[in-house]
Amino acid sequence: MKKVITLLFVFMGLSIFSQTPESFRYQAVVRDVSGTLLNNQTVGLRISIMENSVSGPSVYTETFNLSTNDYGLANLSIGSGNVQSGVFASVDWGNTTHYIQVELDAAGGSNYQLVGTSQLLSVPYALYAKNVENDQVDDADNDPSNEIQTLSISGNDITISNGNTVVLPGATNSILNDLSDVNAIGPQTNDILMWNGTEWVVGDICSLFSFYYLDSDNDGFGDSESFIYACAAPNGYVSDSTDCIDDNPNAYPNATELCDNVDNNCDGQVDEGLIYNTYYLDADTDGYGDPNNSILSCSLPVGYVSDGTDCDDSDPAKYLDAPCDDGFFCTTGDQIDANCNCVGIPDDAACDDGNPNTDNICDPVNGCVFPCNMGAPCDDGDPCTENDTVVSGCACQGTPIIGC
């Protein structure tokens, strides 16, 4: 069962006089994801003070092993744990902002998981205020006594010594003189008193807090595995926890599906509903791909082309209809054919051996050839022969005339 820790700061009467402790009190309500309190359970906490930002450097880290009470509350004093790094007394509270990072091992060990990080707005700054014990406030009077003021309440009047008085608006429950006034309002376990602008009312402390989820890619959808429990959404957190990939701003519920091998719309499918085409590997980068090496893709991959007519993908000069030279003078328009051979258009007129008894032929494979024109009429030059024809060896031979 996944367990979470709610971030709840409780300001616990931190003195600003000479006995100021080098620590401040912190309470955390530990719940599981359904909101059920994990009461009377030993947990491990690692607390880090971050400087300048949520992701800033850690100036102090300590660990605690403690038990929650009957109400799931874990109580600790930050600055008094098992120091892992830094010096708590050296934290410069007055000159920069600080954040508290909480990590939890709900089993009480040291397998910590990040719970959340929140800005420290006031609690430890009482530590900074202890400088008044030596009148270190820069008011040029060197008098430590005038740094101490007293706050008092009488009826509707709240007064600060050496200062002014503020009158609270009168209404039911608007005046709290002592615990009997508090009891009259009827608080229950885990309730707190809240001023609603008109009167003091009782409210469930848990109603002040909500879950907020880290939105690393700023797409408006948060990571359900990285969250905090706070009164308001801290910077970088949102109330929506449905982001499926929180480091990709193009991936969130109902986003447009892109051809990027990513589940953009968070429906559990990748690149669905897109048009896929066949692309061919072009190893020799001649613009023509190997028809025997192809893939289906919704976009053109690097090293692939849409033309799959390359007959030799290891030779950039060989592809269908590429210009070439077959070495024969009797052919023209030489090109690579589908069998990756260089073939030209034959021109028989370019071949002539001067022998009337042979045929002049341009063979696209062998060039000019001159076969005998067997049986063709010819003239052997002998007046005593007739029916002269071409015979074997391309000779002209006639039939002798009797009595010639």
The percentage of residues in the chain with a pLDDT greater than 70, rounded to a whole number, is: 76
Q: Mind listing the pLDDT tens digit for each residue in 136-178? A: 555 555 565 555 667 777 766 777 777 677 665 543 444 555 5
CA proximity to 379, closest of 357, 360, 358, 401: 357
Size of the chain, expressed as the number of residues it contains: 404
CA proximity to 341, closest of 367, 321, 313: 321
CB 373, CB 359: distance < 8 Å: yes
Q: If pLDDT is split at 50, 70 and 90, which confidence band does 181 have?
A: low
Q: Quick one: pLDDT at residue 171?
A: 39
Sheet containing 58-67: which strands, arranged edge to edge? 82-86, 58-67, 42-51, 98-105, 113-120
Burial class (CB in 10 A: 0-12, 13-18, 19+), 24: buried
Give the list of residues 6+ apart from residue 63 with CB closer than 8 angstroms, or none: 44, 45, 46, 47, 81, 82, 84, 110
Residues of the chain with CATH 2.60.40: 3-134
Q: Which CATH number fits domain 3-134: 1.25.40, 2.40.160, 2.60.40, 2.60.120?
A: 2.60.40
Q: If pLDDT is split at 50, 70 and 90, which confidence band does 182 have?
A: low
Q: Mind listing the pLDDT tens digit for each residue in 198-210? A: 777 776 666 667 8
DSSP characters for 335-384?
EE-TTS-EEEEE-GGG---S-TTB--EEETTTEEE--B-TT-B---S-TT
pTM of the predicted protein model? 0.38
What three-state secondary structure class fits 90? helix
Strands 165-167 and 385-391: unpaired
319 pLDDT above the threshold of 90: yes
- Residue 161's CB: how many other CB atoms inside 10 A? 9
Q: Radius of gyration of the chain from Cα atoms?
A: 47
Q: What are phi and psi of 162, to 5 degrees?
A: 60, 25
